[in-house]
Amino acid sequence: MSNSSLVNYTKLSPHIRSRGGNRTTKISPHHMAGNLTVEACGNVFQGSRVASAHYGIGTDGRVGNYADEIHRTITSSSVSNDNVAVTIEVANDGGESTNWHISDKALAKLIDLCVDICQRNDIPELIYTGDSRGNLTHHNMFAATTCPGPYLQSKMPYIADEVNKRLGIISLPDKNGCPYGTSVALVKNGSVGTHVKICQWYLTQLGYSVGVIDGECGNKTVAGITNFQRAKGLVADGICGVQTWTALESALDNTKEDEDMTDEKFAELMNKYRDSLRDNDSGTWSEEARRWAIDTELFVGSGATASGDPNYMWEDLLTREQAATLMYRLARLLGKA
Ligand SMILES: [Zn+2]
């Protein structure tokens, strides 16, 4: 396990522990509760207080490295979280009255660093659930603390979205009006998060049973995905990746188009269709019969074609009143009416 190449300054802290064989699956941003430079933050983690973090980000956007990612740091008041987390301290350019604001530069660098951590540690997506089930976690999920501060905490869904975009997570077009959003990621057995809700919503809309839309992918959701894949001729593995997402999107889009058909639109299309039948075209096989029908005035042309000939609209449909008129003319021709 390597460290980030975004680092500008390194001062390794003595306060490190073993990860106990766990691999890195989570990221935990913290706040410094002060406007510390990456050097000053590094000095704090040299002190007697048993605390550390893997990285620190200054208000200027510089990155400090205080522990190798291979070690567990003592940051989040939770051994189980820190066993699997990379921890990042972010400087505040404002105090408590600003909700512990962080600079735009620091926020942008935090997103860069999260992308880098995900890529180097094979973390496929950053999931923020607001609790410790997700893999973007923060200190007050584990202890009574204001860390990471209201401002940075409010940015967590945004951070997850931005990171996932850069990790190649798909963004669906929003024309289907899904109430849970359009930013989606791979959904498989055990996945938790908004992207699972979106997947469940799409399947439900398309008539596939997934149980409750709860954002947790269990057996029912996997069955729904598998049934949909089978119906669409996709690999039926119960995993919703790019191909299945695209198929869900277009399947629902097609349904919507049918629903959008109104009486007015149908009448308009029907008239367009009938106009195409009223161009006076006809087959040669009916030539003799047509000539007879004109000579006997069974058919009387209406309007005129571009060439000035009467338009008999040979291919158009015959209504019941036209049929009655035709028969009446025929009967008169035979002296029966
Ligand atoms: Zn903290």
Cα distance between residue 190 and residue 196, in whole Å: 10
- Rounded to whole angstroms, how far apart are CA atoms 310 and 287? 16
Cα of 29 from ligand 1 centre, angstroms? 8
What secondary structure letter does DSSP report for 24?
P
Nearest CA to 105 among 38, 150, 60, 163? 60
Distance 54 CA to ligand 1 centre (A): 12
Rounded to the nearest angstrom, the distance between the alpha carbon of 148 and the centre of ligand 1 is 6
Out of 3.40.80.10, 3.40.50.300, 1.10.287.3510, 3.40.50.280, which CATH number does the structure's domain 9-166 have?
A: 3.40.80.10
43 in Cβ contact with 99 (< 8 Å): no
Say how many Å lie between the CA of residue 80 and the centre of ligand 1: 15
Q: Rounded to whole angstroms, how far apart are CA atoms 90 and 59? A: 8
State the sign of the Cα–Cα–Cα–Cα dihedral 89, 90, 96, 99: negative
Tell me what the pLDDT averaged over the chain comes to: 92
Give whole-number Cα distances, 229 to 105, 214, 234, in Å. 43, 21, 5
Q: How many Å is the Cα radius of gyration of the chain?
A: 34
pLDDT digits (tens, 9 = 90+) for 208-236: 999 999 999 999 999 999 999 999 999 99
The DSSP bridge pattern shows strands 85-90 and 72-73 to be: unpaired
**Most confident among 144-148, 157-161, 260-264 (mean pLDDT):** 144-148
**CB contact set of 239 (below 8 Å; sequence gap of 6+):** 186, 187, 188, 225
Please report the beta strands in 125-243, taking only residues with DSSP state E, as ranges in sequence order.
170-171, 183-184
Listed by start position, the domains of the chain span: 9-166, 170-259, 273-333
- The alpha carbon of 304 and the centre of ligand 1 are apart by a number of angstroms equal to 85
pLDDT confidence of residue 257: 65
Using the mean position of ligand 1's atoms as its centre, give its distance from the Cα of residue 310 in Å.
88
Phi, psi of 27 (to 5 degrees): -130, 135
**Long-range interactions of 215-223: CB distance < 8 A, separation 24+:** 215/129, 216/191, 216/192, 217/187, 217/188, 217/189, 217/190, 217/191, 217/192, 218/189, 219/189, 221/187, 221/196, 222/188, 222/189
Residue identified by tokens 């926020």 is: 107
pLDDT, tens digit (0-9, with 9 covering 90-100), for 269-286: 888 888 888 888 888 899
The confidence score (pLDDT) of residue 1 equals 59
Which letter, b or e, does each residue of 87-97 get, where b requires 16 or more Cβ atoms within 10 Å of its Cβ?
bbbbbbbeeee
Cα 77 to ligand 1 centre (Å)? 8
- Residue 292 is predicted with a pLDDT of 93
- Sign for the CA dihedral angle at 146, 140, 154, 7 comes to positive
**CA 188 to chain CA mean position, Å:** 15
Residue 90 and residue 152: Cα distance in Å, rounded?
Answer: 9
Residues 39-93 have pLDDT tens digits of 999 999 999 999 999 999 999 999 999 999 999 999 999 999 999 999 999 999 9
Distance of CA 143 from the midpoint of ligand 1 (Å): 9
- Whether the upstream peptide bond of residue 148 has omega within 30° of 0, thus cis, is yes
The CATH code of domain 170-259 reads: 1.10.101.10
